[in-house]
Amino acid sequence: MNCFFKLLSRLPLRLLQTVGAAVGELTFWLSPGYRRRTRENLRQAGYDEDELFRRAGRAAGRQALESVWLWYRPADEVMARVDADEETTKLVGDAMRSGRPIVFMTPHVGCFEVLPVWLADTFWEETKRSIAILYRPPKRDFLKKLVGEARRAPGIEPVPTNLSGVKRIIRMLREGHTFGALPDQVPAHGDGVWSDFFGRPAYTITLPVKVARQFDAIRIFAWGERSGRGWKVRAVEWTEPLTGDMQKDVDAMNRMIESIIRRMPAQYAWSYNRYKIPSGMRHNRARYAKQPRPDDSKE
């Protein structure tokens, strides 16, 4: 399988993205459940355009195949396809040079795999600060090692979403390195709280907020917007103070994610099962749904 992915990565990026778009659209039409979830998620966020629905399907396929290209191509080839504006470079550069702990949060927008590559290539030699990227190991055994090792490079250390991975993140932050997470990834039972996401309860990871508060870290949202020849790296600092109330802080994190998605809705992974209910938590979500929302008191 490793050899197959390596061979696949030798294809031109544009060809892989084109093939991925076709596969993504085909998957939509062959999988009623996949198609239905995408439509429901788009409507939940207030989008009901047929063209956006079709574009979301194609974008999902592009993201899958371009990730393979990113994993196996040399960093200089990847960087030739990456553009970061001056504001983003300054924001991240100042944070990296500050020596302070940093928590990077990258939603499922565009190509999130490009962010660690750009960060390591741009700042690792100067600062020697690596990024620990949290990832969920695939269920199939033959893919577990492959996915983790493919992401590994100088300045990039992938860590699994388990107790040993969390311990590694804490240790790396104490050693002066940084942490990157997908804040809209559904966590395991016990690792999140229910929080509205586009107006619907979604079980949301708490680790980025916990770590940021524990280390008084700089919090940066960053993403890779797909462009004509590659990706545009963009970043904003999340400066809203953390309150220490986990519910309020996670709610604020979800609002930040929503604002980023609305910048480029066609590139969000709408097919992702964001509203998945972890095993044994149905009653928990029902209780959350009955709680008054902050806006309810204003009506």
**Within 13 Å and on the Cβ side, how many CA atoms surround 253?**
37
| pLDDT above 70 (res 234) | yes
Where is pLDDT greater, at 17 or 147? 17
pLDDT score at 297? 36
pLDDT score at 295? 45
Report the mean per-residue pLDDT for the chain. Answer: 89
The residues near 26 (Cβ < 8 Å, ≥ 6 apart) are none
| pLDDT above 70 (res 284) | no
Section 132-157 average pLDDT: 74
pLDDT score at 136? 78
Kindly list the domain boundaries of the chain, sorted by start residue.
82-290
Where is pLDDT greater, at 249 or 29? 249
pLDDT tens-place string over residues 65-110: 998 899 889 999 999 999 999 999 999 999 999 999 999 999 999 9
pLDDT band at 10 (very low <50, low <70, confident <90, very high): confident
Whole-angstrom distance between the N-terminal and C-terminal Cα of the chain? 57
pLDDT band at 294 (very low <50, low <70, confident <90, very high): very low
Which stretch of 1-10, 13-22, 208-217, 270-279 has the lowest confidence by average pLDDT?
A: 1-10
Where is pLDDT greater, at 140 or 294? 140
Section 43-52 average pLDDT: 93
Distance CA 30, CA 90 (A): 45
pLDDT band at 299 (very low <50, low <70, confident <90, very high): very low
| CB count in 10 Å sphere of residue 189 | 12
Q: What is the pTM of this model?
A: 0.89
Section 130-150 average pLDDT: 72
pLDDT score at 54? 86
| Contact (Cβ atoms closer than 8 angstroms) between residue 233 and residue 224 | yes
pLDDT score at 146? 60
pLDDT score at 160? 87
| pLDDT above 60 (res 291) | no
Distance CA 291, CA 74 (A): 50
Helix axes 141-151, 2-9, angle to 10 degrees: 40
| pLDDT above 70 (res 148) | no
pLDDT band at 140 (very low <50, low <70, confident <90, very high): low
Instruction: Kindly tell me the sign of the dihedral angle through the C-alpha atoms of 239, 243, 245, 247.
Output: negative
pLDDT score at 278? 86
pLDDT tens-place string over residues 162-219: 889 999 999 999 999 999 999 999 998 999 999 999 999 999 999 999 999 999 999 9
Section 10-39 average pLDDT: 90
Q: At residue 156, what are phi and psi to the nearest 5 degrees?
A: -130, 125
